[in-house]
Amino acid sequence: MAYFSMEIGLEEGIHTYSGGLGVLAGDTIRSAADFRVPMAAVTLLYRKGHFRQEIGDDGWQREVAAAWPVEEHLEEMGARTAVEVEGRTVHLRAWKREVTGIDGFAVPVYFIDSDLSENSDWDRTLTHHLYGGDDHYRLSQEVILGIGGVRILRELGYGDVKSFHMNEGHAALLTLEILDEAARAAGRREVTEEDKRAVQDRCVFTTHTPVPAGHDKFPIGLARKVIGDRDDFFGLGGVLYEGNLLNMTYLGLNMSRYINGVAKKHGEISRLLFAGYCIDAITNGVHVGRWVSPPFAELFDRHVPMWRRDNFSLRYALSIPREEVWSAHTEAKRRLLGYVREEAGVEMEEEILTIGFARRATPYKRGDLIFRDGERLARISRGAGEIQLVYAGKAHPRDQGGKELIRRIFQAKDALRDDIKIAYLEDYSMTLGGMITSGVDLWLNTPEPPMEASGTSGMKAALNGVPSFSVLDGWWVEGHIEGLTGWSIGDPVRGKGEGRDNSRDAASLYEKLEGVIIPLFYQDREGWTDVMIHSVAINGSFFNTQRMMQEYVLNAYYLR
């Protein structure tokens, strides 16, 4: 298996990811290694990293460059290859990092680098920035990832790749290279429909985006300029979308034998978006060994000792004594509140119901929904029982709406200062993600349906006994059992359609927080701990990348 992803988040020091897609790719590779799946992964190097986030007192995000010491983390490979970009030859090399599974089986990850002295100054920058440029820069990167990726794998000795897995459309140009390989093998210079069928047989495509605007598309003029005048390729039936756009999702759909969305509901939405394609669903997960906090890892070691090797055994968390669950949670919470004190200067209290929200800051995630009626929220905290809120999340540098969202949260923080403690932690990262998802008491999630393809942070929380309070979208449609694994926000029936109403969703949030969640937390600790335990036993045991990888192997990879 060759697994291609525009971003892969392996660990904190390697800044080659921006968010959910990359973190999922990293977790996928870890589970492939645990599961001894013969796989090699390919991505780009991004020597200049993704940005570090700083937030001024006014709540405005600033981006700080985040170059990282490549040589300290990765091993340079001797192999070299090249691709044509706009008719220029761009030379490429690869750096390797091995991800080792529980039994020592290694999956290599190759990071492609165009920063070689043989290349022009411009071409040297093509693998510097993740999502850092315009369409032209991005398409050049996709040529390097897709075409360059296949070529470098060949140079590295992977002559016999059974299947290629495209994690989202960014990698879909790999199909052009394997089409060309098929044509060359048949002694032709141009690709044909017959090559197309042979290629389809070897490709697997995962789509992650439920909204049409989120799919990668390029004007055909730009595509011809960057990729070359490949009429044979651009003319292949169904590859193009609407005649004048190269749509990477359609390319992936048309060239794959197996296609999936990333949650059951996302599969349904994708079948509506892309009528005529057979689209399955494999619900995302998180890597258990990576996201369980140290106190919960100790707890599981004592009571379900096989949990790392056999994630299903987390089902037996049902028999862990409640006091031990509570004390492990308290330890994780203390660690988070210590960080909040040091980094944000906010003195939070251990006894208070602590709500977490850490997502990419972008309008559809509605991170400020809970502040829609700040007065009411303050009354709830004064009356039903106190709450405090921990926030984190970066806005994409060009997402003005996302930056304004962060600023509105800062404004709410000031406005509510006398009633509710709120901390916005800077520079959301995987380390911080692990600390917040395990250290709060309740995970809040308020996307506008059906925008959330899956979402994974609620799964990290569930593994650590932290229930979700979430709109019924993405994975939560599958993981939600009211009052047992958490709580829903809004009307589940309306949640299936469009036309969300922010004020009704906010009202539903306030009602349930005041009438159900806060009373349970303060007045029925046993009842609360039962919800924690069910979060682990029902959701932690299932929404992990071990189960997910098993589904890919059984339904998509057909490994023999």
Ligand X SMILES: *Cc1c(COP(=O)(O)O)cnc(C)c1O
Binding site for ligand X (CB under 6 A): 19-20, 23, 359, 428-430, 433, 455-457, 460
User: In the 3-class helix/strand/coil scheme, how is 72-138 assigned residue by residue?
Assistant: HHCEEEEEEEEEEECCEEEEEEEEEEEEECCCCCEEEEEEEECCCCCCCHHHHCCCCCCCCCCHHHH
The CA-atom distances, in angstroms, between 4 and each of 146, 238, 551 are 8, 22, 18
Q: What does each C-alpha distance from 333 to 9, 219, 322 come to in angstroms?
A: 25, 49, 16
Q: Between vectors from CA 115 to CA 110 and to CA 121, what angle results, nearest 5°?
A: 155
- The terminus-to-terminus CA distance of the chain in angstroms comes to 12
Q: How far is the CB of 465 from ligand X (least distance, A)?
A: 17
Minimum distance from CB of 444 to ligand X (Å)?
A: 12
Q: Which region, left, alpha or beta, applies to residue 486 given φ > 0 means left and ψ of -120 to 50 means alpha?
A: left
**Among residues 164 and 339, whose Cβ is nearest to ligand X?**
339
CB closer to ligand X, 428 vs 521: 428
Nearest CB to ligand X, comparing residues 140 and 206: 206
Closest approach of Cβ 23 to ligand X, in Å? 4
Tell which residue, 408, 429, 443, has the closest CA to residue 360: 429
Tell me the closest approach of the beta carbon of residue 240 to ligand X, in angstroms: 31
Judge whether 432 and 406 are in contact, CB under 8 Å: no
C-beta atoms surrounding 451 within 10 Å: 21
Structure tokens belonging to residue 495: 């949640």
- Closest approach, Cβ 181 to ligand X, in A, equals 35
**40-44/217-219 β-pairing:** unpaired
For residue 314, the 8-state DSSP code is G
- Least separation in angstroms between residue 430's CB and ligand X is 5
Residue type at position 293: S
- Of 240 and 281, the one with the shorter C-beta distance to ligand X is 281
| Residue 432 CB, nearest approach to ligand X (Å) | 7
Nearer to ligand X, 138 or 460 (CB): 460
Minimum gap (Å) between residue 101 Cβ and ligand X: 20
Of residues 241 and 552, the one with the C-beta less far from ligand X: 552
Nearer to ligand X, 260 or 429 (CB): 429
Distances (CA, A) of 326 to 301, 513, 533: 16, 21, 10
**In angstroms, what is the minimal distance from the CB of 553 to ligand X?**
22
Which CB sits closer to ligand X, 169 or 393? Answer: 393
Place of tokens 């335990």: 533
Rounded to a whole number of angstroms, the minimum distance from the CB of residue 7 to ligand X is 11
| Closest to ligand X by CB, 99 or 430 | 430
Closest to 501 in 3D by CA, of 366, 360, 362, 355:
366
Give the phi and the psi of residue 394 in degrees, each rounded to 5.
Answer: -100, 150
Query: Helices (DSSP H) in 255-319: which residue ranges?
Result: 264-273, 288-291, 294-303
Nearer Cβ to ligand X, position 167 or 457?
457
* Residue nearest ligand X, CB atom distance: 433
β-bridge partners, 259: 205
